[in-house]
Structure 1
């Protein structure tokens, strides 16, 4: 039976069914005869029975056929083993055996990019979550921890560099132009962390001396021509290693640490022990091809994968339901690292914007799931914003409630207690309780309940007593499988501002644990202004009775940068949602608040650029019961035009004044570029006759990609001769550089241009578009599905284009195809006409025979 057929019902894996493994594999030796067309893999497993039972040994496999099976050196005949749903089943008489298998692989035909595959002349692996079973027969689950020895042999001319996990042991020359190398990893690890790379690579080599005085050899391996673009990644790696020692006391444990950049990769990067494999977009950076966002992305992802050495590798997951144990914790760690490297205020704003753009819609849609899910069909579908970004917010709330010293004590206890183990989210929370001296019983609901809590805040002032009463109520909306929710433990930082002085009486941490609670504050002769959820202390939606005047006051006076930014955003949201609903809106309040922010010389330009940014169309849609993409776009466009027109002299002055004479990655330079690009955007939006010419001049004269792409994006939104010229120039300049050409596709897919939906169809047939590279697919169709106005074109053409892409891509790369489904699944938020069109496309996908379980699960849930 074909388990990928759409008529089949893939098995549902449930957390409640977890059972310890029947057999353990303390040691595994792998011998690879590498070739792109045909690779052989001989695996020798030392297996031991786990407990008293007579169950057989089950070795998972996906598309593998054993050429040979041996037990304790004896070759078995086919009657002594059998395959069951791809797995090799062996009945073994004793408690310890040596099991050996031989299989053949065809890496160059592996378009799924899971297991061993070919990419740009390299052979490389990706095993998380269940890719190792595509390499050899093995109990492919994260709670099987093994020590690995890897022997690789390959044609030296084609594959002169042979890398694997751990430390190199020996190497030598073989026959017929082949050579070999042996690598050993002394630390037991799950098979999802196995890695191998073979190819013609050059190395940016460096060294790092750990806090105990050990020297670690560092290497970033890329194609020779890309070496000049690896300096930033190397510095980020060294900064990460030093930061993890200083902040968490975690020292690197091997003699070498290698990173390899590959062109074809389903993820951003992978934390394989000692051999991180990266999507090249998160390694390669120089001013001509990488934006400031790209540079920050390289720094953050390098840090994230390095930090996994402890929060993911040394302590790993017991099962895949615990995925946020490593990912949420490590995202929290990389966010704090990036904040320390730059601006804490701007980093927090960026992180919350990402959470709201990706995780909040997920939490309110058909694919909503808890941070620790209860079931899945395909684990690859749970690499989500909920697992990563909301998971990080859970760690942040724990850290806030504990304080720095107690949180560090809890982390130390967690690492010490579970080093070398496969742990659970519960193990982490218990370590926080034991190390930090806190009861997190109710807080555990954050791991169990899906949905974004809503907090209603109403403030009342009693002039006679001088007291203020803050009434807080909370609710968690129903989500699939969870119609009823219990109250959450929500830490909320608040401050009450004196309207006359612009100061507050102190920042307080309130702990909302009930459905309704009241808090009283004394000594207020006049009604104060409420600043709530400061620094976004909890991932909740706050509804309050604060007036536009209150929000304008906070946008000018709040000393918490995030709260100040949030007040400005809410001021804009209120105006825009009112306009969309046909109500009269006080645009002037927004214009005045932006003017005040622009002229406040005490503010960081990077913060100013964030504060004056209008809420995205998708975020505005999230504030509405029923999303009207056309009305949202019209309202936002009109407000943008007014802001541009009324403040035109300011925009011209800022744009001219912040022009730099040379490129720098200093925080000040990055902030200046950010604000200059914002000024250009508003200046063009004003309708100024010379706007396109000014944008084209920035595009032509820029000495960095940040300003060049920003100008291109601004021009791409409109109709002008400059738009056509800039797109042609950009394409011809970067057509040979795949990563930068992705920006050309992405810029057009994101554009607020009336013809975007037709342009996407044209770009899908472009000679440089390919379905085999995930980056290119994400640049075009991923970006387009995030362009609310264009994707939700009334004709339904946007839905059809994305559905066509999913159907074409699914047989090639089901993981990437499945990630395009969720935008179609939000049909319940739209009017009947659009909802019907989206449902029709989902049903069309579902009707395709042979659909992968990756896409099948997403589509079925989206239609429920």
Structure 2
């Protein structure tokens, strides 16, 4: 590289020398030469000797004027990254004209043209690819945007705020002018132009204002938009009722596009969505797709206040908006659906992905201290662990106290760009609390390990509980100070009866260790610790199998029941790996599973409890990951469970099957979840289950059941797998979002031929390396296939390494996401280490390595 990317540090933050108060943008859209005229009201707020330095990338500068006068060429400098203007003025109007090439923009950052639709993505630093600007989140301005385009090709031209003008022009063109009355950073700017079908509705706020709702989808997809619209209205109503927050514009628009690097973007009043999180009907979307649409629609709407009205001072504060908004969308989904099921699924993400991130070379706090490329910090740590930190605040304060803190937060900071510290301070001040120790969750990386010791004195009827915490070193942080860890708990007798040992259901671990004594305890209790996953920690504890089975059967906390089942399964697998023997499923554990299947409880909870831990979750317990052993033992345990519980699975499969038409409600979703788990176990029994698989596939009136049968057959390597794959392809070829599931199903198959199959699928007509959704569905899914991506001959590494090199030049953001699969390379055996290191070194040696990749490669290879 001609110049190595430089790191930025949170400690070096300085307020901008200039700010911009008002922006007037005019776009004359053209596929290869879009003209952009920006008129900026600039105000100096720093050193009078400093020039104005604007960010700009991949732009062609055409003219500059200050207060209407053309700027001489010797008064400014323009290079590949900046436009520097020498000026002594304190306030002035700056007019810049430049051009961009949307068609050539395959990185999908800034303004781009894909499949006849103009679209923008400006977070984190994409606006500088549109025009020259102070591209930082602490510069807030009011935007007015005029978009000019061909009327026939682009009948809809959209931007932020309320539409204040529209007109037809000469030469078959038209324009629309949009005005956003709320100051915003440029990362929230959006522009979309295309030809869509539109679903329209209205929402009346509690203040009586009528808000126009418009949902734009590709032609022919209108029948897949209803659920997204319903989810939006539910989110608007929920935010009023739960958080006392009301929408503030006259219109709210959502646009679904197929070419989009992210899931969605919360641009003020004009949300741009990856189509997979908007389009859904029973034929083309699974139950999980419907739930994902609801969650992501909610998430982006909730950003209107937590992210837009109050935004980030700098990108180190990303979790200020994302951690908080993930918590809000989790609560939204939980209030509308099953709280227990949603909580367990959220925890699975933390354990399968975030814990691994915490133990790797890219480990970082939820508020990072150092950044080279901001795109690399849109992580499960910032988002999901960030949400867990917010949840702990909620646990410490309760719902009433938390809402008091939220109210004060908005009173203090509405319309401002602030920090994580500002949020914590509002929570403290509103409730008279001291969160000085709790703040370490924002500044320290890593997953705390809590060791539990219990002793019971039968004579004194006294229980002593000792908790110790320790956090391993992470890059740049050798020593850790104690976290404030809230421990929700409950207690049970050996018979499963709930015991009352005290009035406080939350213990507070604030030091390296703490001791808690309970008096008048009539019998040795079984403690359920970290109920509801009250802190994102790992727990070391010597519970017996019998005690785990008591919690599985009797805990009043649904998460803890699920966790007990996962602990039992993990223990069986780890013991078999340690002894180099086959997993042994005890009679008592089989009985506990039978009792669970036969219990009168939520079918979805049964399904989750009987779902084995993922390979990545098991791997997290090892310093050197035993790839083959984990794979072998998971497979063995699943077959044993299928054989031992065959009659129960068959009975439940039949009971959950129904001839009634598909309905999207909690009970039916839960029933289909349990049916799928039963089918996946029975598929392991070989050709005896072919009839069940074919019947469900052929008779399904919804994609959930059809895909469930396909996945069960493929992942069990059943003889009917290939015929069903062919039937599915014939039925759905050309339906890209449905075909994504077909790609993923094969990419996740535990077969020795998976690498070769993935290579072959890259030539399929429905696959394209230019589309992030296709890449995620096939290649990113393959990297999650632990035994096959980590195939001993390195073929999986070679495949993904070559793709990363290709994407380095076209879409480095997506390439960087694929590179995450190599980050933990040091945790594998020597052979695999060398094979992965070879790929990393090949990337390092590229002459044009993108900054997105440079940061990760250097972090991985640094000793």
TM range, smaller chain:
over 0.9
Q: Name 2:280's counterpart in structure 1.
A: 285
Match of 1:153, SS state, is strand
2:514 aligned to 500, 513, 517, which one? 517
Task: Tell me the distance in 1 between the aligned counterparts of 2:175 and 2:673.
Answer: 50
1:499 aligned to 477, 491, 494, which one? 494
The answer (yes or no) to whether the contact 2:496–2:553 under 8 Å persists in 1 is no
1:165 aligned to 160, 163, 179, which one? 160
The answer (yes or no) to whether the contact 1:825–1:863 under 8 Å persists in 2 is no
1:526 aligned to 498, 512, 523, which one? 523
1:442 aligned to 431, 437, 446, which one? 437
Q: Name 2:678's counterpart in structure 1.
A: 679
Task: Tell me the distance in 1 between the aligned counterparts of 2:325 and 2:605.
Answer: 25
Q: Name 1:731's counterpart in structure 2.
A: 729
The answer (yes or no) to whether the contact 1:663–1:704 under 8 Å persists in 2 is yes
The answer (yes or no) to whether the contact 2:164–2:177 under 8 Å persists in 1 is yes
The answer (yes or no) to whether the contact 2:26–2:37 under 8 Å persists in 1 is yes
Superposition map of 1:91-490 within 5 A: 91-490=86-485
- For residues 767-815 of structure 1, give each alpha carbon's deviation from its aligned partner in whole angstroms, at most 9, with x where no partner exists: 3321100000011110000011111111111111110110111111000
The answer (yes or no) to whether the contact 1:120–1:262 under 8 Å persists in 2 is no
1:54 aligned to 45, 49, 65, which one? 49
The answer (yes or no) to whether the contact 1:499–1:529 under 8 Å persists in 2 is yes
Q: Name 1:591's counterpart in structure 2.
A: 590
Task: Tell me the distance in 1 between the aligned counterparts of 2:774 and 2:469.
Answer: 42
- For residues 382-414 of structure 1, give each alpha carbon's deviation from its aligned partner in whole angstroms, at most 9, with x where no partner exists: 000000000000000001000111110000000
Q: Which runs of 5+ in 1 are unaligned?
A: none
Task: Tell me the distance in 2 between the aligned counterparts of 1:200 and 1:239.
Answer: 27
Task: Tell me the distance in 2 between the aligned counterparts of 1:509 and 1:756.
Answer: 47
Task: Tell me the distance in 1 between the aligned counterparts of 2:751 and 2:226.
Answer: 37
Kindly tell me the number of residue pairs found equivalent between the two proteins.
857
The answer (yes or no) to whether the contact 2:48–2:88 under 8 Å persists in 1 is no
Q: Name 2:569's counterpart in structure 1.
A: 572
The answer (yes or no) to whether the contact 1:65–1:103 under 8 Å persists in 2 is yes
The answer (yes or no) to whether the contact 1:61–1:88 under 8 Å persists in 2 is yes
The answer (yes or no) to whether the contact 2:6–2:372 under 8 Å persists in 1 is yes
Q: Name 2:860's counterpart in structure 1.
A: 862
Q: TM-score, normalised by structure 1?
A: 0.98
1:639 aligned to 637, 640, 643, which one? 637
Q: Name 1:35's counterpart in structure 2.
A: 30
* Cα shift at 1:530: 1.4
Superposition map of 1:1-12 within 5 A: 5=1, 8-12=3-7
Superposition map of 1:838-857 within 5 A: 838-857=836-855
Superposition map of 1:544-555 within 5 A: 544-555=541-552
* Cα shift at 1:583: 6.2
Task: Tell me the distance in 1 between the aligned counterparts of 2:727 and 2:408.
Answer: 56
- For residues 803-833 of structure 1, give each alpha carbon's deviation from its aligned partner in whole angstroms, at most 9, with x where no partner exists: 0110111111000000111211211211111
Q: Which runs of 5+ in 2 are unaligned?
A: none
Q: Name 1:662's counterpart in structure 2.
A: 661
Q: Please say if 1:824 is aligned against 2:819.
A: no
Task: Tell me the distance in 2 between the aligned counterparts of 1:27 and 1:274.
Answer: 18
The answer (yes or no) to whether the contact 1:716–1:753 under 8 Å persists in 2 is no
* Cα shift at 1:754: 2.8
Task: Tell me the distance in 2 between the aligned counterparts of 1:719 and 1:112.
Answer: 37
Task: Tell me the distance in 1 between the aligned counterparts of 2:718 and 2:677.
Answer: 20
* Cα shift at 1:64: 1.3
Match of 1:546, SS state, is coil
The answer (yes or no) to whether the contact 2:684–2:716 under 8 Å persists in 1 is no
Q: TM-score, normalised by structure 2?
A: 0.98
* Cα shift at 1:835: 1.1
Q: Name 2:797's counterpart in structure 1.
A: 799
* Cα shift at 1:77: 2.6
Task: Tell me the distance in 1 between the aligned counterparts of 2:584 and 2:637.
Answer: 10
Q: Name 1:561's counterpart in structure 2.
A: 558
- For residues 446-486 of structure 1, give each alpha carbon's deviation from its aligned partner in whole angstroms, at most 9, with x where no partner exists: 00000000000111100011011011000011101111100
1:616 aligned to 614, 617, 623, which one? 614
Match of 1:636, SS state, is helix
